[in-house]
Amino acid sequence: MPISEWIQVAVLALIQGLSEFLPISSSAHLILPAQLLNWEDQGLAFDVGVHLGTLCAVLVYFRHDLTRMFFAWIASIRGHQSADGTLSWLVVLGTIPAVIAGFFFVSLIETWGRSILVIAATTLLFAAVMAWADMQRKEQRDIGHLKVRDAIWIGLAQAMALIPGTSRSGATITAALILGFDRATAARFSFLLSIPVTLGACVMMATRITSGQSILPLEMLFAGAVIAGISAWTCIHLFLKWIARIGMMPFVVYRVVLGVVLLFIYFNLPELA
């Protein structure tokens, strides 16, 4: 395969890994290179590969938490309740809105939601919402205060992130801040919510791969998954380490700059839009 193909795979996998868990929208950043640089779509198999990479990253990072939650969830079915068991059920509950929205609206979003104008609009709109939530935050609640209604509201915010430019982590963290949770709790619950949603997305995309599609060589798919996984693990580690101190404002500024650039491209460089 030509070196340019390897470069595209590496860049797109790195973008997926870095942007999946940052509040900047991974879907927007994966769409933009193809439109702005005229790169060929790498196909659903590549999408599955890089999403599996990010899924493995979050599973590895939270492996101890997930182990406790799994056994606590099994125990809760048998009538033995615990904080970890309750958290497991709340993750399941918070996933339901995204599953429903994906089932009914994913085709509509894929058709109408991938234009540069839509991405620019959602990037700027949710930058404003994120800024307001971060400035108005109370941080009076931690993970132990998470209730059913909180999981539902945060889950509804996650469902909105199906629109490119919104950001799944941005929407869920913002919703948690509005509900009074501290930044670290908001980020942790957001990452836990990403696990079933990412797994579901991988399964959905995998079922849509047809034998007639052009599929990248196995070594390229594997390289993309590894790059996405390593960069995602690094991103999770640094984000959780720094989020309480830096907050959401650096990402708000980034989104504003990105949104303005995209609007400039749309209105002044229509051949790229």
Q: Using one digit for the tens of pLDDT, what is the confidence trace for 252-261?
A: 999 999 899 8
Which parts of the chain are beta strand (E)? none
DSSP for 147-177, please give it: -HHHHHHHHHHHHHTTSTTS-HHHHHHHHHH
- The residue ranking higher by pLDDT, 148 or 35, is 148
Structure confidence by residue, pLDDT tens digits, 198-208: 998 888 888 77
Question: Which two tokens mark 4?
Answer: 């340019």
Distances in Å between the Cα of 32 and the Cα atoms of 11, 36, 142, 250 are: 12, 6, 36, 21
What confidence tier does 217 reach under pLDDT thresholds 50, 70, 90?
A: confident
Q: Which two tokens stand for residue 185?
A: 């709790």
Q: And the tokens for 90?
A: 């709340």
The DSSP H or E segment spanning 100 is helix 83-112
* pLDDT grade for 272, boundaries at 50, 70 and 90: low
Q: What pLDDT score does 75 carry?
A: 96
SS3 272: coil
Query: In the predicted model, what is the mean pLDDT of residues 135-154?
Result: 94
Check whether 25 has a pLDDT greater than 90. no
Cβ density class 247-270: b for 16+ within 10 Å, e for less: bbeebbeebeebbeebbebbeeee
H/E run at residue 70: helix 63-77
The pTM of the full predicted model, rounded to 2 decimals, is: 0.91
